[in-house]
Structure 1
Amino acid sequence: MADIKITNQPAQHRYEAHIEGQLAGYCEYNLLSEAVMFTHTEVLPEHEGKGVGSAIARHVLDEARAEGKQVIPVCQFIAGWIRKHREYAELVRPDVQRAFKI
């Protein structure tokens, strides 16, 4: 597996994943007072199948947890990832879980 480096780019409202200095994917977000709303995640075609999406999801959710933020997974990839990784479900309020079928 390639070494994936993820950084927050607050001015662009997104996290970026890089492999060997090349942009491999990103996750866009909106920061709210007590939550972070993830709106879109994309892995560039040439980096699909390298674990980039999962690395992004784990990173952004771990960072939300560390900051004490709730998560609103508008992005279908992030919502689906939480469904598969139930240890992150507590980051999503029960009413929001119902709305996004988590």
Structure 2
Amino acid sequence: MDIKVEDVPARHRFEARVDGTVAGFAEYMTTDTLIVFTHTEVDPGFEGKGVGGALVRGALDLVRAGEHKVLPLCPFVKAWIGKHPDYFDLVYDAPPSKVTD
């Protein structure tokens, strides 16, 4: 199965397409420096066929080509990154808080 991933900024999501059909998507919000992944969904007809993993990998590869860091609020994206250490460098590393009493 050929899975193509593309950024669709007008819809604030990356889409995974199989033969032109949207098989899944990963929604995001952006700031000047971050892409915040908020929700990922795979069409039930494509579940268990590697679409989710291909979607996240493709989206992160597209992010890597730019200058953003990733904040994975979506549990699926967070778990996928956790299993693929070669993508750890994309994850936003917040500086420690400087709040004092």
Q: Which moved more, 1:85-94 or 1:30-39?
A: 85-94
Structure 1: which 5+ residue stretches go unaligned?
Answer: 97-102
Task: State yes or no: 1:20 paired with 2:28.
Answer: no
Structure 2: which 5+ residue stretches go unaligned?
Answer: 96-101
* Amino acid in structure 1 at the alignment position of 2:93: P
Tell me the residue number matched to 2:83.
84
Tell me the residue number matched to 1:38.
37
Higher helix share: 1
Runs of 4 or more consecutive aligned structure 1 residues displaced over 6 Å after TM superposition: none
Identity between Structure 1 and Structure 2 (%):
46
- Please report how far the alpha carbon of residue 82 of structure 1 lies from its aligned counterpart in structure 2 after TM superposition: 0.5
SS of the residue corresponding to residue 63 of structure 2 reads helix
Q: How many residue pairs get matched? A: 95
SS of the residue corresponding to residue 50 of structure 1 reads coil
Please give the alpha-carbon distance, in whole angstroms, between the structure 1 residues aligned to 2:91 and 2:20. 32
Task: Indicate the RMSD between aligned Cα atoms, in angstroms.
Answer: 1.3
* TM-score, length basis structure 1: 0.87
SS of the residue corresponding to residue 48 of structure 2 reads coil
* TM-score, length basis structure 2: 0.87
Task: State yes or no: 1:47 paired with 2:42.
Answer: no
Larger radius of gyration: 2
